[in-house]
Structure 1
Amino acid sequence: MTRLDSRTQAVANPVFVSAAQRFGIIERPELAFTPAVARETEHLYEKVKDFIPAIEWPVYAPYVHAINRLKKERNAVILAHNYQTPDIFHCVADIVGDSLQLARDASKVDAEIIIQCGVHFMAETSKLLSPEKTVLIPDGKAGCSLSESITGADVRLLKQRYPGVPVVTYVNTSADVKAETDICCTSSNVLAVVESFASDTVLCIPDEYLAMNVARQTNKKILTWKGHCEVHERFTAAELLAYKEANPGIEIIGHPECHPDVIAVCDFAGSTSGMINYVKDHRPSKVLLVTECSMASNIQAEIEGVEFVKPCNLCPHMKRITLPKILDSLLTMTEEVLVDPAIADRARLAVERMVNLKQ
């Protein structure tokens, strides 16, 4: 690979030097399914062969091979959320997990560059926790319906309406919103976060269903906001009951971003990591995961003897991240994620309080 050094361009703008200027741009390699590429990616195909037909692997393999070589050259680490497709999750990711896991790991990585395979708020969170690192997202338009449901101005109005009430903000929000909150939470630690306050009333925003579900587990009064995940809000209790009737003995594992009526018919509810651990620990003969459908494929590749029934609700935002975009991101050092210094310190504090909270 040939590097086109563009660091000298930084002289024109002494205030901001882009990642492309700092690290240089690398020419696009030839992408061909050569015998060497086939040989070096063979062990990775074994992980995804149930989801990618053999006839299609020659399309994927050159990207996988190029990405895995280039991330070493760039001293980059790839963080991938559990909702990424199997080719990303199993073939190029260095660290995988839910929002809390990725937030914690982002603060510990030694690499200079973080490639965030997830949605934009996750990349912002990585930048908050590792401000000295370069954080890239392969597609800056990978948004989130929850994140877009509320603004920092909305939170300020809520604080005026409920003075003195602690504000717990779901990590699925922008840095602007995090900067107005006392502490962040994820679906895996929301109850612990809520219970950490002495106050008998807590604002839990913006996910209405997450707040409603945690309200059933605490004696505190939970105030919320009408934000919803466009994937999880589509599931219904009637749909799941129909699956139960059609599949005797099936275990249904739900995500707390679903409506409480949906959670009520589930055998277990938890974060994406909690769902994965439940399946690994209990090994049900047949299971349905009430969440984004790529996760079932990712688990299925690791767990034998479990049949996954897959109602497929895709997240269009997560699916904006693809192997070609990851490669382009590494080559061109785009799209760089930056957080306004005016809000970064306050937003970082809210995230650090969450990460450091003892479970």
Structure 2
Amino acid sequence: MVAIQFDKVDIVFGERRKQALALLDQGKTRDEILAETGAVIGAAGIDLAVERGEICVLMGLSGSGKSTVLRAVNGLNPVARGGVSVRHDGAPVEVTDCDADRLREIRMRTVSMVFQQFGLLPWRTVRENVGFGLEIRGMKAAERRRIVDEKLAMVGLAQWADKHAHELSGGMQQRVGLARAFATDADILLMDEPFSALDPLIRDKMQDELLELQRRIQKTILFVSHDLDEAMKIGNKIAIMEAGRIVQCGTAEDILLRPATPYVAEFVKHTNPLNVLRGHSVMTPACSVRRDDGTVLLDRDGLVRMRVDAGDRPVGVEVNGREGSLGRVNGNAGAFDTPCDIIVAPVELKLATTIALKRKTDHPIIFVDAEGKLAGLCGDDEIYGSLLRRSA
């Protein structure tokens, strides 16, 4: 289900918008249009769908149009041409066509924003800052306090509720901003480089906290970043922008393995593939593995065989004629201390974690899908091959 839809969106800053759009249609560049009209093309031809519960990262250098596109979702940046819609009360609503009252309703109930510089009111306590949107909505104090305290507990700031912003660290202030956005219970969160002002260690921790919160609350998040590592860490989908246009949109793996333009290739060339590639990108798929008499062969000589059930789920293993053991990894953790012959892991496992697991066994890692069915195998050849392809 689509939560945010951009349909051929153009955004122009300046007085000569019509002339700028006409030149844009003629294929003129942003710099040429600026020189001829004095107008700035903030965004051009933006087509993007953000699914409900997805984190989509708008990525690019400063001036590429990331924040401009983000702010069109809640009407802060007017659209010169095209449409932006959000799912509001169960149905898509064109933000570009809303009157002032409807737009205010969307901002209060459906779309919330987390700012780079926190945007906290210094004369208010943490609890009062978090409850500000609910107060504007007219919610009674007792109900407002209940919701605020719940959200402060969610971000780990319950004990700081009566402090003021200047008494908190930068990371804690950013968490107050997150709690304020969560308090409105908006389905859509707009996050404009929210962690860029933080120290690297705090920033990494905040990214982890955001991902953990997202696993629990499943909001739709449109996130702006100029940091590729951050984008690849948190984004289900990444839209890379250049000069107001989206030049490539896809998963981190799509972009790393198949950059669409030289600009994107330059962007990703220093990215560590161990932190981006996952099992399905490096494995030999199940349809290509060797089988014999209902078993999957895990070595060249057929001495290590894995049994699967009728649904192609791993159920047992034979190693050199004896009954072996299967060890199963849950989630994306690399820790695995239980002795076993064969390790079974989720197909979404990161390559770095896969390599750590492979060091614990002489046999391929068995990847399974969400239903536990065999997805593929990953041994030394697959690991080396993926790294060599990336470095070629």
Greater strand content: 2
Greater helix content: 1
Bigger Rg over Cα: 2
TM-score by length of 2: 0.27
TM-score by length of 1: 0.29
Higher relative CO (Cα under 8 Å, sequence separation at least 6) belongs to: 1
